[in-house]
A and B are shown apart, each in its own frame.
Chain A
Amino acid sequence: MLRTKLTGSRRVRLPRMKAATAAAVATASLLALSACTPGASTNSSAPVKSITVLVEAGGHAELQPIADLYAKDTGVKVNFVELPYNGLFNRVNSELSTGSVSFDVAALDAIWLPTFAAGLEPMNDLYTPAVTADNFPSVVQEAKVGANFVGMPAFTNSEILYYRTDLFNNSANQAAFKAKYGYDLKPPTTWQQYADVAAFFTKDGMYGAPLPGAEETQYLAALSQAGEKEMVLNSAGTKSTLGDAASLKALDYYTSLAKYAPAGAAAVDWNAAQNLYNQGKSAMMLFWAHAYRQIPTSSPVYGKTGVAPMIAGPAGIAGVPGPYYLSIPRQGAHLSASTAFVKFAYDHNALSADTSLGLVARISALKQYEDKPGYAAYKPMVTTLSAPATITRPANANWQNIVNNALIPMIQKSLQPGADNAALLKAAAAQIDQIVQQ
């Protein structure tokens, strides 16, 4: 039997050799075809026909109108590469550290700039007095790492107050609220008013406001509202400021709001909080300004939502600025073309207003649209970002690490029954000190 097969195999040797040769040719062809890729090295002296812009998933929507106009005006096509938020960080980190950069421009979160600054092209020449004057001080401040500006503002964001106009304008609610609290029912402007309104509406399956305990920025806003001048870290970035009176006041207030939100606030993230409001189950929410344009038409709160500036604590109104910047890698293949696009994008920043999220950076762009229908969130955002108590997150390369390993766990523990907030703040401060002193 074996012998028969062996004999047979000799007869088929030639066809098998042909098959092997065909496979080798196919592999070589595949390799050759694969080599014709955008990633292949390019001649930097040749005219640039296209540039690659790395953006967070969905982030190209804000830049698409600008890219379209840029292609029309200059003939240079803009190719967007979309990646998930954390994936974008990992990709940029890997490419900058290996020196093998596949993109020309990246849209980066403000908190990443200190981490990537060494690999980014300085843009000091682009920061003219006119540019500085047309952006919020916090946005200009976050763009500067050390001596260099390493990003041009693409858009900015801030938490603002959302409230149900149908509930606030209801005469029965107005009368009942006044009878209980002694003042008119209106969009709250202070910590006390916010807590009162939240308490008033927490009944019959309705909640006052969701509390995103799995996120850190709402607590950070409360920190600024409480009067903290340095957010979490001292100005040198060497020691945590948590544990002082303002941080305790902020955490005590923040955790006191849990009773006006669904149980399990420690697990509630931005998506859950936003959805609770969009489901019509919450009378208010403190949320990023872009959410105003995201309310689905099928939502019971669509057309019944009012917006106002962030609430004020003892130190006044304050929010956390959330800007994104366009940055250029030092080792990018087309530095001058990339710089030209970034400048163009900044000059035409207002085009981003007419997109799904409608986020822009320049104050002039915000003011250009603030009175138009659909842009009600712009004024509260300007008020919040212009407020003297609003401060930025620290420009520290360890910031994401601090958030993930110290701040969010501390906030989540503070939402457990019987939590000792003072002890939690001290423990978090000690942990942060360890992180920044490593």
Chain B
Amino acid sequence: MNGLESRRGSTRAILWTALTVLVVLYAFPFVYMLFTSFKTPIETNAIPPTILPSTWTIQNYITALTTQGVPQSFVNSIQTAVISTVVSLVLAVPAAYAVTRYRTRLGRVFILLALVMRMVPAIVVGAPLIAFFHSLGLSDTSFALALAQTTISLPLSIWLLASFFEAVPDELEESARVDGCSRLGSLWRIVIPITRGGLAVAAIFAFLASWNDFIFALLLTSVRAVTTPLQIANFQSQFGLDWGTMTSLAVLYSVPVIVLAIVLQRHIVAGLTLGAVKG
């Protein structure tokens, strides 16, 4: 009995060690970025590199936040990501519902085409959009940028939501229709409440696609709608690489996403396990 407990203890210790190593490896890039953001300019590019700062400084954060355009870029990023997420979901919900419920050949082709859209490099879509938005007078606006980013997040949202909607038994909707509910009504009252975890997953992926977008921001913004990823990149030039400021800005930029992920964590886990025990 003691031997068995000892073996169990050893196994648990090995598992914990392996888990700790994995967590450290996984978190290392972020932790290293965090430490770098507190280093002096000389130390950020030290050869050999250091992990912990020898002198801690918050100067990089002050520089980042007082650089012209940086605070506004945060506002622009939030605005753009929210618009893009809302537009994505508003369009993806009916599309995914139609594909999963009507199950036509056209629907299958449509969902395949949506997947193909994900395979097209963003710059291929972005270049023609320059002229398109210019002709509409929408150049350098968060709305135009959000629409452009929707071309990337919408296909993913449709695919995600289609898989979640598929997991909702037809019988539930049929019961609702027997009770006089329309198709749209059953989507609104039955399917969406059941799959809200899936919606949260789709929302956070759409939000992240916009939040981290660089190419569309590069091509479609100039002054007013510039987002933070572009501002971060601007600290690297031919004449120098300001790692300290870049990393401090990156740390600040990751905070809203971390908060969002924590807030939506319960829904995300629920969404990811949706349909896992179907049947």
Contact = CB atoms under 8 A, between A and B. Distances in A.
Interface of A: 2-3, 5-6, 9, 30-31, 34-41, 52, 56-59, 79, 81-85, 87, 90-91, 94-95, 97-100, 102-103, 109, 262, 271-272, 274-276, 278-279, 281, 288, 290, 294, 296, 298-299, 357
A2 B45 contact: no
Interface in B100-145: 123, 126-128, 130-131, 133-144
B140 A94 contact: no
A9 B180 CA distance: 12
B179 A6 contact: yes
19 contacts: A31-B143, A34-B142, A35-B137, A35-B138, A37-B139, A38-B139, A38-B223, A39-B134, A39-B137, A39-B141, A56-B238, A83-B218, A85-B236, A85-B238, A94-B123, A94-B130, A275-B46, A296-B42, A298-B40
A275 B43 CA distance: 9
A81 B224 CA distance: 10
B87 to A, nearest CB: 9
Interface string B175-206: 11001110001000100000000000000000
A385 to B, nearest CB: 18
Contact of A81 (B138, B223, B238): B223
B222 A52 contact: yes
Contacts of B134: 39, 41, 100, 102
Contact of B140 (A39, A90, A91, A279): A39
B105 to A, nearest CB: 32
Nearest to B177: A2
B66 interface: no
Contacts of A102: 130, 134, 139-140, 222
Given A271-B45, A271-B241, A272-B47, A58 B224 contact: no
**Pairs A-B, 6 closest by C-beta atoms:** A39-B139, A275-B45, A100-B131, A57-B234, A34-B141, A40-B137
Contact of A290 (B179, B185, B239): B239
B237 interface: yes
B74 interface: no
A90 B233 contact: no
Interface in B214-229: 218-219, 222-224
Contact of A57 (B139, B185, B235): B235
A299 B41 CA distance: 9
B230 interface: yes
A58 B140 contact: no
B234 A81 contact: no
A348 to B, nearest CB: 21
B279 interface: no
Nearest to B55: A298
A294 B239 contact: yes
A35 B133 CA distance: 10
Contacts of B142: 34
B179 A3 contact: yes
Contact of A357 (B222, B236, B239): B239
Contacts of A99: 131
A113 to B, nearest CB: 16
A162 to B, nearest CB: 15
A82 B232 CA distance: 12
Nearest to B179: A2
Contacts of B141: 34-35, 37, 39
Contacts of A95: 130
A34 B144 contact: yes
B240 interface: yes
B127 A6 contact: no
Nearest to B142: A34
Interface in B61-120: 83
Contacts of A100: 130-131, 134-135
Contact of A2 (B139, B143, B181): B181
Nearest to B240: A294
Nearest to B87: A27
A39 B138 contact: yes
Interface in B232-263: 233-241
B20 to A, nearest CB: 30
Nearest to A262: B47
B127 A2 contact: no
Nearest to A62: B239
A276 B42 CA distance: 9
Contacts of B128: 98
Contacts of B138: 31, 34-35, 37, 39
Given A31-B143, A294-B239, A299-B42, A2 B175 contact: yes
